[in-house]
């Protein structure tokens, strides 16, 4: 349809609106600049100049126990009223720098003026310390340029209509339904929640030869024997032992 505008939030859905008093489809502004950059109408420096004073800010809701557990240290020693609780929501900034070899992770109370938190004191949710300064926040220009440079690994080709890659599965891993939860991403929760097929691991342990076990880092025959005995004896398997973890990681 003529003049139809359709600017999706694909790849930008984790961000809050960076523009004050902007139109509803604020993502259109960013997508237009990405297209201009692609077609050589503007440069990366133009992107930096335009967006370097804006920052990547996300709204986060404590909607799962996984997210709440990230604030266990911050809640420690505080009364219930002062704690971060289920279904609270707030704003988070993306890590920009490290201090004492630890990433600084800005956490601030919710406000509709999202960019305002960059210029006010915030809590480093990793340490509980109060900090202040725009240097702790990731510039939106960097987020946009990283997005442009990010390869589309699911498809073949570099431009135009890409074709899906052909893949061949060599195994199955069971993952939780929240594996791609956007809410987890600003908190640097790495990797999906993985559920191991316990019965399959048991059968592989029983079939292991001492030579194969050594390849997986299980050096002693006595260790392998104990593992096999536990599999035969116990209906429930302990997946947290060092030896079992080696096998799970290999499979």
Q: What is the pLDDT of residues 38-60, one digit of tens each?
A: 899 999 999 999 998 999 999 88
Model pLDDT, residue 184: 54
Check residues 41 and 219 and name the one with the higher pLDDT. 41
Model pLDDT, residue 192: 44
Bin 77: left if φ > 0, else alpha if -120 < ψ < 50, else beta.
left
Beta bridge partners of residue 103, listed in sequence order: 98
Bin 227: left if φ > 0, else alpha if -120 < ψ < 50, else beta.
alpha
Gap between the Cα atoms of 219 and 106, Å rounded:
45
237: buried, middle or exposed (CB in 10 Å: 19+, 13-18, 0-12)?
middle
Beta bridge partners of residue 164, listed in sequence order: 155
Residue located via tokens 């604020």 = 26
**Terminal-to-terminal C-alpha distance of the chain:** 50
Mean pLDDT of 124-149: 89
What band does 1 get if pLDDT is binned at 50, 70 and 90?
very low
CB 90 within 8 A of CB 107: yes
Q: How many residues are present in the chain?
A: 251
pLDDT digits (tens, 9 = 90+) for 75-99: 888 888 888 888 888 899 988 888 8
% of the chain residues with pLDDT over 70: 81
Residue located via tokens 């999906």 = 192
- Which residue ranges make up each domain of the chain? 27-149, 196-250
Mean pLDDT of 5-13: 72
Lowest mean pLDDT among 44-48, 85-89, 143-147, 199-203: 199-203
What band does 174 get if pLDDT is binned at 50, 70 and 90?
low
Lowest mean pLDDT among 1-15, 101-115, 226-240: 1-15
pTM over 0.75: no
Sheet-wide strand order for 122-124: 57-61, 89-93, 106-109, 122-124, 130-131
């Amino acid at each position: 349809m003529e003049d139809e505008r359709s600017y999706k939030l694909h790849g930008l859905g984790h961000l809050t609106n960076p523009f004050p008093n902007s139109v509803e489809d604020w993502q259109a502004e960013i997508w237009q600049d990405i297209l201009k950059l692609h077609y050589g109408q503007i440069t990366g420096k133009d992107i930096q100049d335009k967006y370097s004073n804006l920052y990547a800010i996300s709204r986060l809701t404590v909607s799962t126990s996984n997210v709440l557990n990230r604030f266990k240290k911050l809640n420690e020693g505080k009364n219930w009223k002062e704690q971060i609780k289920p279904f609270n929501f707030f704003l988070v900034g993306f890590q920009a720098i490290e201090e004492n070899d630890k990433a600084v992770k800005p956490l601030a109370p919710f406000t509709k003026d999202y960019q305002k938190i960059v210029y006010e004191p915030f809590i480093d949710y990793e340490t509980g310390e109060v900090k202040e300064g725009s240097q702790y926040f990731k510039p939106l220009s960097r987020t946009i340029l990283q997005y442009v440079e990010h390869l589309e690994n699911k498809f073949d080709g570099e431009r135009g209509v890409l074709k899906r890659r052909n893949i061949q599965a060599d195994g199955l891993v069971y993952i939780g339904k929240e594996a791609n939860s956007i809410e987890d991403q600003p908190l640097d929760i790495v990797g999906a929640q993985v559920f191991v097929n316990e019965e399959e691991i048991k059968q592989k342990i029983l079939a292991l030869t001492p030579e194969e076990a050594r390849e997986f880092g299980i050096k002693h025959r006595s260790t392998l024997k104990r593992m096999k005995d536990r599999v035969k004896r116990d209906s429930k398997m302990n997946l947290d032992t060092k030896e079992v973890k080696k096998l799970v990681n290999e499979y």
